[in-house]
Amino acid sequence: MKNMKINLFALALVIGGTFVTSCSEDDATGNSVLEVNSGVTGSVVTDFDSSAALTVNEVDEETFTYMVSISEAQPVDIHLTVSQISGSATPDEDFTFDSVVVIPAYATTASGSISILNDLTPESLESFTLQIGGVNTSNATIPVKTVTFNIVNELSNELKLDFHFNRTFSGSNGFSSSLCEIESIFSAEPYDVDFIVYDSMGNDLGVLDAQTENCEESLTMNINDYADGIYDITAYLYTNADLHLAELAFPLVDVPEFMIPITVDYLRSGSFSGLYTQEVANQFTSNSPVDSESYLMSIEVYTDAIDGVRKFRVLNSAGNISAEGRARAARTFNHVRRNK
């Protein structure tokens, strides 16, 4: 009998513990033991005019907010779902939004946000419509709110050029390195390529953005800084880490001469982008001496005769790369070396 009483007491504790645990995780739905307030209503109010589609420019990267309010606090969280119901814009690429807005227990308000992203990709006009709230909202009656945005594609004034020349190589003794890592064992100099901008008359414009000590360089051309015309860009070998001695000197034993092609990622946001590869005939090799200079590419700035918009073209020595263009005549360049 005594054992039976103990067992019954233990069973009661287990049941009681289960009951307490259940209550602590209660969301006031189904078999809830919490008492929620009935007749609670709510609303969604935006900080922008949502009565019609809102047109925005992606370059501004604006964030828009809204407030969700209920008439009376509840002892449980109120979850309001937000979803895209139409439109060509892509979440996390063109815009972001809070997929769930939570009004905490015993609170009456919460806010959500919608952010427009500048994705730097040429696109036509895009749009999207979000639905804030829905039939699954529990413990409050909140009318559904829809908001629509039209995203205008940005046409940037800037052409961004990223120059890449790094590559790996190795010697017969197993030693390996890369152009961005190697330093001369004689002079401690690195491998350093600069990029020079010339006008159509062959004058060095003194643009120093891509003449740094960085291994690999970048240049941004703002169209407002350049008159219509063709601008040539050359690669200038500032230092070569004494690679021309690599076949003779430790640790680079028996490194055969190798080509060093330069590639350029180019982008005008809202217009075009691509990858340019230097022509083989103009590429440096590991034996190229310091102060070598070779043609890389040309950029044409022009005013479109149809729409009057100033634009860029990317050209090589033989013709057009990105759109209609014209061939470039052979040129001789003579960059004056400067100290860094």
Residue 188 sits in the same domain as residue 300 = yes
Q: Does residue 35 lie in a domain region?
A: no
Q: If the chain, 340 residues long, is cut into consecutive pieces of 10 residues, what is the mean pLDDT of each piece?
A: 42 40 45 75 96 92 97 95 96 96 97 91 88 84 96 88 94 82 88 96 95 94 96 96 68 76 91 89 93 95 91 81 42 64
Residue 110 sits in the same domain as residue 174 = no
Residue 167 sits in the same domain as residue 293 = yes
The confidence score (pLDDT) of residue 33 equals 54
Q: Does residue 278 lie in a domain region?
A: yes
pTM of the model: 0.64
The confidence score (pLDDT) of residue 4 equals 42
Residue 173 sits in the same domain as residue 298 = yes
CATH of the domain at 130: 2.60.40.2030
- The boundaries of the domain holding residue 140 are 42-152
**Cβ 209 vs Cβ 233: under 8 Å:** no
Secondary structure tally for the chain: helices H, strands E: 1, 21
Label residue 28 left, alpha or beta by phi (over 0 means left) and psi (-120 to 50 means alpha). Answer: left
d(CA 332, CA 202): 8
d(CA 312, CA 159): 8
Residue 173 sits in the same domain as residue 69 = no
Residue 188 sits in the same domain as residue 268 = yes
Residue 164 sits in the same domain as residue 274 = yes
Which one of 152, 181, 199 terminates a domain? Answer: 152
The confidence score (pLDDT) of residue 331 equals 56
Residue 134 sits in the same domain as residue 167 = no
> What is the dihedral sign for C-alpha 130, 60, 50, 70?
positive
Single-letter residue type at 30: G
> What is the dihedral sign for C-alpha 324, 298, 312, 155?
positive
Residue 145 sits in the same domain as residue 265 = no
Which one of 91, 118, 152 terminates a domain? Answer: 152
Nearest to 219 by CA among 205, 203, 208, 235: 208
The confidence score (pLDDT) of residue 305 equals 93
d(CA 279, CA 299): 15
Residue 176 sits in the same domain as residue 303 = yes
Q: Which helix (H) or strand (E) holds 15?
A: helix 2-24
Residue 259, φ and ψ in degrees, nearest 5 = -80, 150
Residue 130: beta bridge partners?
84, 147
DSSP 68-85: EEESS--SS-EEEEEEEE
* Number of domains making up the chain: 2
Q: Does residue 244 lie in a domain region?
A: yes
Q: Does residue 126 lie in a domain region?
A: yes
| Rounded to 5°, angle at Cα 36 from 33 and 41 | 155
Q: Does residue 163 lie in a domain region?
A: yes
Residue 308 sits in the same domain as residue 176 = yes
Residue 134 sits in the same domain as residue 53 = yes
d(CA 12, CA 111): 44
Q: Does residue 94 lie in a domain region?
A: yes
Q: Does residue 324 lie in a domain region?
A: no
Q: Does residue 302 lie in a domain region?
A: yes
Which one of 124, 152, 180 terminates a domain? Answer: 152
